[in-house]
Amino acid sequence: TLMEDEPEKYQSQFNEYVKREIEPDAIEG
């Protein structure tokens, strides 16, 4: 899997995804 082959790359992409999901709620709330 991507996480197994490139954990750092996966983590970076995951962090960006989490930011996109969380930040709008934080701004609105």
Q: How far apart are CA 6 and CA 4, in angstroms?
A: 6
* pLDDT at residue 8, as a whole number: 85
Q: Where are the domains of the chain?
A: 1-29
pTM over 0.75: no
* pLDDT at residue 17, as a whole number: 78
* pLDDT at residue 20, as a whole number: 75
C-beta of residue 21 within 8 angstroms of C-beta of residue 28:
no
Q: How far apart are CA 18 and CA 11, in angstroms?
A: 10
pLDDT tens digits, 1-29: 666 888 788 788 888 878 777 666 656 65
